[in-house]
């Protein structure tokens, strides 16, 4: 599976759809794939999850939606992957640039940049078929890359001026 094919599958068709709808869309795209392609998709997905395991990105997630746990940050990174390659790559370079995109989903009128278990869909399909789990791919890191962000408003405003203006002003 090429990187382009991965992104065509992983990118949500409708950025404003609910988390459940986005997950169902991915499941529908992955179900016709053969087992080897499912494994390849899962490997690409896990590589993107590893690549995005960064404190500076976590700081942006914290500012936007009070993301304060490993689990929530994993769901945030799944959501970011679902926004597509251009958004993903630009955001990794500078998380504050996430403010430049009109991609934020809302739940109860609050920002909700989370996709629950989006990273598990390929593995679930594979396991249902062959009754075995996909090979485990460790993150390779015990802690996010970089220096931990400070959750004080002054730091957040300085580090993420566009996001701060959009979500805290």
40 close to 133: Cβ distance less than 8 angstroms: no
66 in helix, strand or coil?
Answer: coil
Domain that holds residue 128: 3-167
Structural domain count of the chain:
1
pTM of the shown model: 0.95
49 in helix, strand or coil?
Answer: helix
Q: Which pLDDT value is given to residue 32?
A: 98
DSSP lists the bridge partners of residue 111 as 106
Quick: pLDDT tens for 73-125: 999 999 999 999 999 999 999 999 999 998 988 889 899 999 998 999 999 99
DSSP lists the bridge partners of residue 54 as 145
């Amino acid at each position: 599976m090429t990187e382009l094919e991965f992104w065509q599958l992983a990118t949500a068709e409708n950025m404003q759809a609910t988390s459940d709808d986005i997950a169902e869309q991915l499941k529908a795209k992955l179900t016709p794939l053969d087992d080897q392609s499912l494994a390849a998709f899962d490997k690409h997905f896990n590589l993107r999850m590893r690549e995005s395991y960064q404190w500076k990105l976590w700081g942006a997630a914290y500012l936007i939606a009070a993301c304060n746990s490993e689990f929530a940050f994993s769901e945030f990174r799944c959501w970011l992957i679902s926004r597509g390659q251009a958004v993903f790559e630009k955001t990794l370079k500078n998380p504050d640039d996430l403010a430049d995109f009109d991609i934020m989903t809302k739940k109860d009128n609050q920002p909700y940049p989370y996709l629950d278990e989006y990273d598990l869909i390929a593995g679930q399909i594979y396991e249902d078929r062959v009754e075995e789990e996909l090979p485990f791919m460790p993150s390779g890191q015990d802690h996010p890359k970089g220096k931990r962000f400070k959750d004080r408003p002054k730091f957040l405003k300085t580090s993420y001026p566009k996001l701060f203006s959009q979500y805290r002003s």
